[in-house]
Amino acid sequence: MNQDIKNNFDVLEFKDQESVILCELLKFGVASASEISAKTGVKRPTVYETLKKFIERGYVNELETNSITKFQIIDPVIIGDKLDFEINKDFKEKSKAVKTLIPELVKLYKSEETDESKIINVELIRGHNRHRDQKFLELFKQAKSEILFMVRLEYLISEEFDELAKKFIKKGGVIKSIYEVSDEIKLQKDNKWSKAGMKDILRIFEGFEKQGEQIKLSSNQLSNTTIFDKKIVYMNIMDKSIPRHNNSDIIIKNSDTAKNMIDLFNYYWNTSYTLSEFKSLHKL
């Protein structure tokens, strides 16, 4: 059995001995458990038990002869149809279970939360997953008056301005951002990321400014830090020397810490460039 076949069987959650036995029977067409055992090296009782499972799934027919029980494999195309049907049925059942379960879990969520449990000054979020940004978005939605960003742009910029930011500014909120400018900035276009030129980057920032965001550009190395309402600090700890899934985010809910970070923000703000100053400096 070649590696591609084995890998696909693994994806379909076949045990190694199941895939070996099925492939051997496919070669024979019709064979006894003893014949398959001799060819594969799998013990006869295990072969027999596995073939019985295949009969239950509809992959194999059992043939009674005068002397010995033999097993007949069915057309592999039909086996494929059966597998496809089973997978889709399983997916629909699990999807339905999730949709039924989640509303019940929502009822339980924080239903017995105490005042003491609400007082968590520091949260550490480890690892990388597609729902990790939800924590940040929660804080964004809860913000009332001011959000300060220090942003490293070495890996991502999206042309799409966040709808949350638009709504926040429309309601009178203030967003001030210091963006670190580097040669490694990537721009999203047509759902693809590619290295961006400085003119593309400035065009995006000008769009942000039109939305009401206050922007400055810095050549200093910044930490990815956000300060919400002078009370909460959200820091993204990035380390290129370790895998991305081992990076961490820290949330600090402490006014004194927020004040210290605001002082740092103001230092960088006062030493950074406006868009017009940056364009003039670099003759863009």
- Number of neighbours of residue 262 by Cβ within 10 angstroms: 16
Tokens of 208: 């942000």
**Domain range annotation of the chain:** 3-74, 121-281
What is the mean predicted confidence (pLDDT) over 172-177? 94
Residues above pLDDT 90, as percent of the chain: 55
Measured distance CA(64)–CA(66) in Å, rounded: 7
Q: How confident is the model at residue 190 (pLDDT cuts 50, 70, 90)?
A: low
Measured distance CA(53)–CA(73) in Å, rounded: 13
Predicted pLDDT of residue 43: 95
What is the mean predicted confidence (pLDDT) over 44-56? 94
In angstroms, the Cα distances linking 95 to 11, 98, 102, 108, 109 are 19, 5, 11, 20, 21
For residues 188 and 179, the model is more confident at: 179
- Number of neighbours of residue 252 by Cβ within 10 angstroms: 18
What is the mean predicted confidence (pLDDT) over 207-224? 88
Query: Residues 224-261: pLDDT tens digits?
Result: 899 999 999 999 876 666 665 567 889 999 999 999 99
CB 228, CB 234: distance < 8 Å: yes
pLDDT of 85 over the 50 cut: yes
Q: Which of 222, 205, 236 is nearest to 264 (CA)?
A: 222
pTM for the structure as a whole: 0.59
For residues 21 and 67, the model is more confident at: 21
Least confidently predicted of 9-23, 53-67, 128-142: 128-142
Strands, sheet with 69-73, edge to edge from the N-terminal-most edge strand? 30-31, 69-73, 60-64
pLDDT of 123 over the 50 cut: yes
Pairing state between β 192-195 and 30-31: unpaired
Sort 169 into a burial class: Cβ within 10 Å, 0-12 / 13-18 / 19+: middle
Predicted pLDDT of residue 74: 94
58: phi > 0 → left, psi -120 to 50 → alpha, else beta; which?
Answer: left
Question: What type of residue is 278?
Answer: F
Measured distance CA(284)–CA(280) in Å, rounded: 6
CB 9, CB 19: distance < 8 Å: yes
Measured distance CA(78)–CA(54) in Å, rounded: 13
pLDDT of 158 over the 60 cut: no
Tokens of 219: 């050549």
Sort 238 into a burial class: Cβ within 10 Å, 0-12 / 13-18 / 19+: middle
For residues 44 and 133, the model is more confident at: 44
CATH no., domain 121-281: 3.30.870.10
CATH 1.10.10.10 applies to domain 3-74: yes
Question: What type of residue is 85?
Answer: F
pLDDT of 150 over the 50 cut: yes
What is the mean predicted confidence (pLDDT) over 149-166? 66
Mean pLDDT of the chain: 85
